């Protein structure tokens, strides 16, 4: 079973990202050390798309540098 949207949000928040808000089911996360905005779309219980998982993984790695 894959990850859920809520799991990705937890990972981002644990890495120091802040939810900047968004429209509808979209949530935008920012971090002082990461140049790009990370956008997650969907309800917390939805399955995460492969591109969500990839963008979160890359952003969390970049935040550690």
Write the pLDDT tens digit of every residue in 5-18: 999 999 999 999 99
Q: What is the pTM of this model?
A: 0.91
Confidence of residue 1 (pLDDT cuts 50, 70, 90): low
Among residues 1, 18, 11, 24, the alpha carbon closest in space to that of 52 is found at 11
Domains of the chain, each with CATH number or no CATH: 5-63 (3.30.920.30)
Reported residue count of the chain is: 65
Say if residues 13 and 30 touch (Cβ distance below 8 Å).
Answer: no
The partner residues of 1 in beta bridges, in order of sequence, read none
Determine contact, residues 45/6, Cβ cutoff 8 Å.
yes
């Amino acid at each position: 079973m894959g990850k859920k949207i809520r799991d990705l949000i937890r990972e981002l928040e644990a890495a120091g990202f802040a939810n900047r808000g968004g429209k509808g089911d979209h949530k935008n996360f920012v971090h002082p050390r990461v140049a790009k905005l990370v956008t997650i779309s969907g309800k917390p219980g939805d399955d995460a798309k492969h591109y969500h998982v990839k963008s979160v993984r890359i952003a969390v790695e970049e935040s550690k540098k």
